[in-house]
A and B are shown apart, each in its own frame.
Chain A
Amino acid sequence: KDAASGREVFTEAAAPACSICHALAAAGASGEIGPSLDALKPSADQVRRAVTEGPGNMPSYADSLSDAQIEAVAKFVAESAGG
């Protein structure tokens, strides 16, 4: 269930959606603006931090996503990218 809702956050709920900028095969995403998550293989903690902090030119989603949504997308990315 977490993975399903994490995928939804990744492709739809987040604004802008993670999939616009990042590649992640499990989400059918091929964005080329940010690093490929399939290549980066981040841990859930790394995703959580990036989503919250907004490194470089990545926006922070701390105000636009709930803690539960951030948790879900962090787990989804870490599990599906194999990090």
Chain B
Amino acid sequence: MTPSGIARRRFFVGAAGAGAALGLGGGGAAAQPARGAGGLPDYVAWKDAEDLIVHTPRTIEMKRSAFGSSGITPDTDLFVRNNLPPPDARILEDRDGWEVSVEGVRNPRRVALRELKAMGVESVAAVLQCSGNGRAFFDHKASGTQWRVGAAGNVMWSGVPLRAVAEAMGGVADGMRFITARGGEDIPQGIDPRTVMVERSVPIAAMDRALLAWELNDDPVPLAHGGPLRLVLPGFFGVNNVKYVKRLAFTAEESDAAIQRTGYRVRPVGQRGAPSQPSMWEMTVKSWVTQPLRETADGPVQILGVAFGGARPLRRVEVSTDGGSNWQEARLLGPDLGRYAWRPFALAAELSPGTHLVASRATDEEGNSQPEKMEPNERGYGHNGWRDHAVEITVR
């Protein structure tokens, strides 16, 4: 998938980035990560700057115009959202030596990546999407990155099934109800780690599809995407797919880290986050048009987009060229990559001169369709309303 030239280029860029990161660590005043060509921070300097929007050094969105119709998002275009600064790139120097502490099993212990690779391997195509993707479409100005559609991608992961890891360690201990994963980022002195650390819990039922992944789109997982080892939970929002996973525990209770207790909780506008509110776990059905986006000549046009069912398989996607008055079922393109992947879609249309509001509306296997309007929530999570995702096209 990746030409060897690009792989080599990435290696050299990565090596240069590691040196720059070392320089940064020493100087307290140098809080801004160095930026390379195209305005990209060093740790993602290998990405395609033309296809990306840099909101901050750790929140980088893919442009809507960059989505293609082949189904897989290249890692050079894949969005980045890190809640904490990524660890030093030196952790990639000995990928196989990366250790994760496995707890809440009958025989808990630390296990190295090289041993995980021998326990089993599976691959999965899955949509990776930030909880706040679409936040910019809400009117209530929720704080956080103003993502539109590009905090999402459809990628291939390879790794060991979590159930194989648990089996190798005697099975899950009695009474455990959650999978709890902690990232390997450094937490500064002077702060209770639970305040800012990335530790997320999901229901243990996700065990049937969870992977500890070391490959992304046929390459070792880059630092920006959680390499050397990332917990992958197909169908779950991005934040649960913990990067640089250092502790993987089966637990009776959810993590008491703030990011789990009060962060990523869905609540009405104006309310504080609390453990009683729904957590940003499984994704819902969603789609958006990717082409055309602004102007096109009159006559025949292929309206393109992507659609996915979230945690459930996709059943169909419809397209409207008149703002939702009339809908036509679109054709799903390419192979079905499984229930957690997205499908590009196409609808052949004839557009007359004038303006057209082009919308898409996906439906999952259980019959759930995207709503026209998404009810606002305090943090601007999970927007899948079709009207806000529609594009206005001018036909000459």
Q: Which residues of A contact B (CB under 8 A)?
A: 16-17, 20-21, 23, 30-33, 35-36, 38-40, 45-46, 49-50, 53-60, 62-63
Contact = CB atoms under 8 A, between A and B. Distances in A.
12 contacts: A16-B190, A23-B32, A31-B31, A35-B56, A38-B31, A45-B141, A50-B143, A53-B142, A54-B263, A56-B83, A57-B259, A59-B196
B258 A59 contact: yes
A44 to B, nearest CB: 12
Interface string B2-41: 0000000000000000000000000011111000000000
A73 to B, nearest CB: 14
B58 A35 contact: yes
Nearest to B258: A59
Given A30-B28, A49-B142, A62-B272, 6 more contacts: A32-B85, A33-B196, A36-B32, A49-B143, A54-B273, A63-B272
Given A16-B190, A16-B191, A20-B190, A57 B196 contact: yes
Nearest to A16: B191
The B interface is mostly helix, strand or loop, or mixed, namely loop
B193 to A, nearest CB: 11
B263 A33 contact: no
A65 B142 CA distance: 20
Contacts of A17: 190
B84 A33 contact: yes
B83 A23 contact: no
A15 B85 CA distance: 20
Given A20-B191, A53-B143, A39 B32 contact: yes
Contact of A53 (B30, B31, B56, B378): B378
Contact of B192 (A16, A54, A55, A57): A16
Interface of B: 28-32, 56-58, 83-85, 141-144, 187-188, 190-192, 195-198, 258-259, 262-263, 272-273, 378-379
Nearest to B33: A32
Contacts of B31: 23, 30-32, 36, 38
Contacts of A57: 83-84, 196-198, 258-259, 263
Contacts of A63: 272
Contacts of B32: 23, 36, 38-39
A68 to B, nearest CB: 19
A74 B353 CA distance: 49
A56 B273 contact: no
Contacts of B263: 54, 56-57
A16 B196 CA distance: 10
Contacts of B272: 60, 62-63
Given A20-B191, A31-B31, A55 B198 contact: no
Contacts of B259: 56-57
A50 B196 CA distance: 14
